[in-house]
Amino acid sequence: MIKAVVFDLDNTLMDFMAMKENAITAAVTAMVDSGLVMDQKEAKRELYAIYDKKGIEFQKVFDNFLQEHLGYIDFKILSSGVVAYRRAREASLVLYPHVNMTLTGLLRRGLKLAVLSDAPCREAWLRVCYLQLQHVFDTVITFEDTGFKKPHPLTFRKVLSMIECEPQDTIMVGDWPERDLVGAREVGMHTIFARYGFVFDRPSVGKEGAEYVVDDIREILGIIDELNGNEKHGQIFEK
């Protein structure tokens, strides 16, 4: 009996990479308009190189970029980039299609919902609140809550403990098989591969080791109904 669904956040509930690309593009344009003498494509390459070294959530990326390129931080250029980045980020923070209807359907079925993310706690909660999901997810477990990132089993055991569910009664939904699905499977959780959010530079080969695969998040409702033998909800979903 499935009692809870745990979601990865980035590229499972929202298109994180599209958001990042839009925000970086806006920031570079603003910095050039404020006096940065640099080709915009090259600037983006250098920014992404810093992210590759420091992590995609690195908060001082523009400081490092200007220090490396200029030898000092021009605060007019820095502030222009930061403001443009934040505005574009907020405008681009949107849910994938059918996320709201799916989460509502899961809540109506009486399931507990949680988020398990490798993002820093502050950034994860900011995204959850920007997306107006703070009343849907009471439990958001991040890297800072355990000191480990997925697929370390402690991260999955932590979220299971917080939602007070056994692994066999819980499904993990994620777009990154090697992190989201391997770790969940190791502790005994059911797994769903969110293939619609698969963004890596290699082809998807199908289920990627998951029990189920979805190309639209609303397909989760049918999977839950099948596992729980809920014919009434299943008929509604099929329509």
100-109 — which CB contacts under 8 Å span 24+ positions? 101/218, 102/217, 102/218, 102/220, 102/221, 103/133, 103/136, 105/218, 105/221, 105/233, 105/237, 106/5, 106/220, 106/221, 106/224, 107/136, 109/221, 109/224, 109/225, 109/228, 109/230, 109/233
pLDDT tens string for the chain (239 positions)? 999 999 999 999 999 989 999 999 999 999 999 999 999 999 999 999 999 999 888 999 999 999 999 999 999 999 999 999 999 998 999 999 999 999 999 999 999 999 999 999 999 999 999 999 999 998 999 999 999 999 999 999 999 999 999 999 999 999 999 999 999 999 999 999 999 987 655 455 445 579 999 999 999 999 999 999 875 554 444 33
139 CB-near residues (< 8 Å, 6+ apart): 112, 113, 114, 115, 159, 162, 163
**pTM for the full predicted model:** 0.85
4-15+94-238 is classed CATH 3.40.50.1000: yes
210-214 — which CB contacts under 8 Å span 24+ positions? 210/177, 210/181, 214/173
Fold of 17-92: DNA polymerase; domain 1 (1.10.150)
> Six-digit token pair at 113?
């919902």
CB atoms within 10 A of CB 106: 21
Domain ranges of the chain: 4-15+94-238, 17-92
